[in-house]
Amino acid sequence: MDTECKWLPVKVLTETETPMSTPSWPANLLAPPSTNMPREVNILIPIFPGFNLFDVSAMDILGSGGNQVTFKYTITSHTEDTKAAQGAIVKCYKSFVQVIYCIGDFHVLIQPGGRLEKISAYREDIDTFRQHLGIIDHLRTLCPIQSEPYILLSVGPGALLIAPTGAFSGLRVTTRHDMPELLRQDCEEYRRMHRGHPVTIIPQPDL
């Protein structure tokens, strides 16, 4: 079915925009439709070997949409079983290849992070990492759903898995206190190669 496409930028959220109080940014997304019919928000979580399982709890910031809003979570990975940093084995619901074909079904993407050595090793697996980036890139170039932008959320070091796509171009972003230079390098490389906009890196204190 043909639909009119209005191109709007994806809404990218980083830790500087995720207060624990009820956030305002997903208000339209989480609000029940005017017809008072139930609404389902589909959330995609791409994971990788050594990802931080606690980062997935970032979904809590979505708050409660009330009785008429439910959240459906889909875990995607390159492999059927993925071991988290905490040792748990997490089964994916869909592979990267399967997700590409239904990427338009999702409203929110939450990218968890992990230890630097795990992220670095994952990025060195070129083919797999390209598929991972492809999912993010597809989401950020989609038409919005009923004029509502898709939401892309990174948690901590997860920003290092998003930056190569250029999603942070022209924005203010942050990551772990020991990784801002790596994030800056990724953002600057994209800017040079694709004529993107400068990215402002907000340092975090070493707590």
The runs of H, that is alpha helices, within the chain are 27-30, 96-100, 116-124, 126-140, 180-194
- pLDDT at residue number 14: 43
- pLDDT at residue number 112: 95
**3-class SS of residue 135:** helix
- pLDDT at residue number 25: 40
Structural contact between residues 77 and 95, judged by C-beta atoms closer than 8 angstroms: yes
- pLDDT at residue number 88: 94
List Cα–Cα distances, 127 to 32, 102, 163, 166, 186, in angstroms. Answer: 40, 20, 17, 19, 18
- pLDDT at residue number 10: 43
Q: Which two tokens stand for residue 159?
A: 């920003």
- pLDDT at residue number 46: 97
What residue ranges of the chain have pLDDT lower than 70?
1-38, 58-67, 143-148, 205-207
Nearest to 159 by CA among 19, 30, 52: 52
Contacts of 192 (CB under 8 A, 6+ apart): none
CA distance 8 to 157: 26
The runs of H, that is alpha helices, within 31-176 are 96-100, 116-124, 126-140
The pTM assigned to this predicted structure is: 0.78
Specify whether the backbone of 14 is left (phi greater than 0), alpha (psi in -120 to 50) or beta: beta
